[in-house]
Amino acid sequence: MILDPCCGSKMFWFDKDNGDVVFGDIRRESHTLCDGRALEICPDVQMDFTALPFAANTFSMVVFDPPHLVNVGKNSWMAKKYGRLDKATWRRTLAAGFSECFRVLQPGGTLIFKWNEDQILVSDVVSLTEYKPLFGHKSGKNSRTHWICFLKTAPSVLPFFAAEMFAVSREELDGVA
């Protein structure tokens, strides 16, 4: 089984009703976006990725795509689509999210992490887990969306290594938190 603990509107899923996936999110909401399109956040299970309601070693894959914005209006369409992080607590929140995702992942399981570094550097985020990224890919208009693959093996000590791997200068970002 696969877990997507913050599925939002499942934009990146080819099959939004894939029976092999447990779709979770902290909210269940419907909105109409500015262009008139409907936005449905309709998880199988409402859950908090900082305290996942599953036993350890349950899933063979976890897909973790948490909110990446701290500077965004509470009622903006970006916040409706992607959620938002709290300026004061985002490090703690994401560290707890990684910790929970790895806890429920089976040994040898894969964690796919997606991050857009418009506001927070990916190196600052991957350093919140002691697991080591295996490989990744950058996409999007300015190559700021990172797809990163981790394997649940024995954790390694990472922080300094991670900072070097994702060498983007802070000056490139408009509003680092």
The nearest distance, CB 109 to ligand SAM, in angstroms, is 19
**Interface residue with ligand SAM, options 23, 25, 94, 109 (CB under 6 A):** 25
Stretch that binds ligand SAM, among 41-49, 123-131, 133-141, 158-166 (CB under 6 A): 41-49
Nearest distance in Å: CB 176, ligand SAM: 19
Among 67, 109, 133, 136, binds ligand SAM (CB under 6 A): 67
CA angle 139, 94, 78 (to 5 degrees): 55
Stretch near ligand SAM under the rule CB under 6 A, chosen from 63-71, 102-110, 123-131, 134-142: 63-71
φ/ψ of 46, rounded to 5, equals -75, 130
Among 22, 64, 83, 98, binds ligand SAM (CB under 6 A): 83
CB 94 → ligand SAM: shortest distance, Å? 10
- Residue 5 touches ligand SAM, criterion: CB under 6 A: yes
Please report whether residue 66 would count as binding ligand SAM according to CB under 6 A: yes
Between 5 and 133, name the residue whose CB sits nearer to ligand SAM. Answer: 5
Stretch that binds ligand SAM, among 19-27, 137-145, 149-157, 161-169 (CB under 6 A): 19-27
As a whole number of angstroms, the distance between CA 162 and CA 146 comes to 13
98 near ligand SAM, rule: CB under 6 A = no
Q: Three-class SS string for the chain?
A: CEEECCCCCCCCCCCCCCCCEEEEECCCEEEECCCCCEEEECCCEECECCECCCCCCCEEEEEECCCCCCCCCCCCHHHHHHCCCCCCCHHHHHHHHHHHHHHHEEEEEEEEEEEECCCCCHHHHHCCCCCCEEEEEEECCCCCEEEEEEECCCCCCCHHHHHHHCCCCHHHCCCCC
Contacts to ligand SAM by CB under 6 A: 5-12, 25-27, 41, 47-50, 65-67, 82-83
